[in-house]
Amino acid sequence: MLDLPSTLSGDKRQKRERLHKLLGEMLINITNQVFRDRSFYIDGYRFINCSFINCNLYVNRGTFEFHRCREEGGNHTWDAEAMKCIQLYCEYGPSRAVKDSFKPVFHEDGTFSIGQGVSIG
């Protein structure tokens, strides 16, 4: 039987928090770009004031952010790693209501933001 600690010790928790902060800081900023009829992975990027028109966006891990972006048409494809988060959230059934904290932020100008610090841009 696997014996997991109920909580991380203070030192381990601090190391994990530093790692997550570092990974967030490593995102490559892409600003004020228009992508049209493209297919690409969005992991590793922070999109700021970008537009996606008929694009196929692929998510592998969920290491991305959108800040004040627009999207028209297109599709999202979730690879196995990202899909696990969606499946875990839906564990209680497909009718589970989405909590406000899980929803994107929609701005008055018609743009949306997804990620930490959604006020960027």
CA distance 118 to 57: 20
Strand partners, 45: 28
Domain assignment present for 78 = yes
Domain assignment present for 17 = no
For residue 2, name the pLDDT band (cuts at 50, 70, 90): very low
Helices (H), the chain: 10-25, 80-89
Domain assignment present for 48 = yes
pLDDT at 32 over 90: yes
Structural domain of 66:
30-114
Residue type, 88: L
Higher pLDDT, 21 or 11: 11
Domain assignment present for 42 = yes
The one-character DSSP state at 78 is E
Q: Name the one residue in this structure whose structure tokens are 């990620």.
A: 115
Domain assignment present for 96 = yes
At 52-91, the pLDDT tens digits run 999 999 998 888 999 999 999 999 998 888 888 878 877 7
Domain assignment present for 8 = no
- State the total domains in the chain: 1
Strand residue runs (E) in 32-64 = 34-36, 39-41, 45-48, 51-53, 56-59
**Cβ-contact 55, 72 below 8 angstroms:** no
Percent of the chain with pLDDT over 70: 79
pLDDT at 64: 92
